[in-house]
Amino acid sequence: MKAMILAAGKGTRVRPITYTIPKPMIPILEKPVMEFLLELLRRHGFTEIMVNVSHLANEIENYFRDGQRFGVQLGYSFEGRIVDGNLIGEALGSAGGMRRIQDFNPFFDETFVVLCGDGLIDLDLSVAVQWHREKGAIATIITKTVPLEEVPSYGVVVTDEEGRIKAFQEKPTVEAALSTTINTGIYIFEPEILDYIPSGQVYDIGGDLFPQLVAMDAPFYAIPMEFEWVDIGKVPDYWNAVRDVLSGKVRNVSIPGKEVRPGIYTGLNVSVNWDKVNFQGPVYIGGMTCIEDGATIIGPSMIGPNCRICSGALVENSVIFEYSRLGPDVRLVDKLVFGRYCVDKTGTAIDMQAAALDWLITDVRQMLPETTPLEQQEIAEIVNAVQ
């Protein structure tokens, strides 16, 4: 069976991570989120999968290649152009991307599934497809119910008692929302859906195609299903996803590495004196990371590979990406560190280099000048003042 993964977006709400990593490649404990989607599709017999790419397309294609090592066949549809030898992404929108694939050569010739490439899901796709066919639907959305305050982040769905969609709102305000049933970005389509998508122009599934189907009174349905779904639409969502995995709340994602102490997992060749570092799990530490004596690591926290946590530093309820160095006595609480950026749990980012704070958090590969004991004391006082 055939499927498509939507992977062309810039992921602006997940910046600064998506400055250098496309959303489908964002790692959940070092494994790209799109890899989990491929595993789900393969389990339910979807082995011919198209992926539309645009922003940082090479990152996705170079990792997944033809899909052979994941047990599927992958094809890529690039949306953009080349300028001075550089790929410039120009995404066509989620629906426009589908139409571009079909215009190149008719690929979608049977019932097919479309998944957004930025979520962790554990859904029985086979049951959903069966329901879709029994209804005679041309399009079906898998839906969930969320608290009212969360609806502005999603498309809102209103159905009749048969599940037929009567209204669709794309990211309404709390005041304007007609329901708390939301679009999860999991779709089932018949090939005829492509007839309603114009060729060669930007066209969105939620913003353009679905309102058109409602206006036409097309056989357009929603299936409310109970399933595990972790959306990674914004930086706080990603932060929460990693914490939930570490805490065992996400069933289909296991913590990698070796459990060296209760709730403490490590990759290869981690340098740490277990008697001189205070650990409170759950914690994951990537390979070739050094935790100096006197540091404190409190979970749920993830420290990526090739990091260095200096003496006296505190990491609590935080996520640290690879090659990060946390200076002596620095306190990192409820934060995400990505390169030169430090992001709090609301998504507010500080560019440590621009703020002249890159001596607090920096790239572990960068040579730092030696400091005297007096300078170290002055640094500690500045750190405390900043926090």
CATH of the domain at 50: 3.90.550.10
In 37-149, beta strands by DSSP E: 48-53, 73-78, 80-83, 86-89, 112-116, 119-122, 139-145
Pair (259, 226) in one structural domain: no
Parent domain of 53: 2-231
Pair (156, 190) in one structural domain: yes
The tokens describing 367, both together, are 């040579």
**pLDDT tens, 338-365?**
887 888 877 787 877 776 666 677 888 8
Cβ density class 53-67: b for 16+ within 10 Å, e for less = bbbbbebbbeebeeb
CA distances from 329 to 51, 155, 385 (A): 45, 44, 12
**pLDDT tens, 283-325?**
999 999 999 999 999 989 999 999 999 999 999 999 999 999 9
Pair (227, 264) in one structural domain: no
Alpha helices per DSSP H over 113-251: 125-135, 210-216, 235-246
The tokens describing 195, both together, are 């007839």
Q: Is residue 315 part of a domain?
A: yes
Pair (22, 151) in one structural domain: yes
Q: Where is the domain boundary, 196, 231, 266? A: 231
Give pLDDT, residue 311: 94
The pairs formed by 102-108 with CB atoms below 8 angstroms and a separation of 24 or more are: 102/194, 103/199, 103/200, 104/77, 106/191, 107/2, 107/50, 107/75, 108/2, 108/4, 108/189, 108/191, 108/194
Give pLDDT, residue 356: 63
| Residue 109 counted as an annotated binding residue | no
Pair (94, 199) in one structural domain: yes
Pair (259, 207) in one structural domain: no
The amino acid present at 13, given as its one-letter code, is R
Give pLDDT, residue 379: 44
Pair (278, 195) in one structural domain: no
Q: Is residue 246 part of a domain?
A: no
Give pLDDT, residue 367: 61
Do residues 322 and 306 lie in contact, with contact meaning Cβ atoms separated by under 8 Å? yes
pLDDT under 50: residue ranges of the chain: 370-376, 378-380, 382-387
Pair (169, 299) in one structural domain: no
Do residues 239 and 338 lie in contact, with contact meaning Cβ atoms separated by under 8 Å? no
Q: Is residue 77 part of a domain?
A: yes
Pair (294, 326) in one structural domain: yes
Q: Where is the domain boundary, 199, 231, 263? A: 231
Q: What is the domain-level CATH number for residue 289?
A: 2.160.10
Please, which residues have CB within 8 angstroms of residue 98's CB and are 6 or more apart in sequence? Answer: 4, 52, 108, 114, 193, 194, 197, 205
Pair (377, 328) in one structural domain: yes
Q: Say how many domains are in the chain.
A: 2
Give pLDDT, residue 107: 94
Give pLDDT, residue 232: 80
Q: Is residue 242 part of a domain?
A: no
Give pLDDT, residue 299: 85
Pair (83, 192) in one structural domain: yes
Q: Is residue 241 part of a domain?
A: no
Q: Is residue 237 part of a domain?
A: no
Q: Is residue 202 part of a domain?
A: yes
Give pLDDT, residue 169: 84
The amino acid present at 354, given as its one-letter code, is A
What's the DSSP call for residue 325? E
Give pLDDT, residue 255: 85
Pair (199, 265) in one structural domain: no
Q: Is residue 250 part of a domain?
A: no
CA distances from 26 to 64, 87, 173 (A): 13, 20, 28
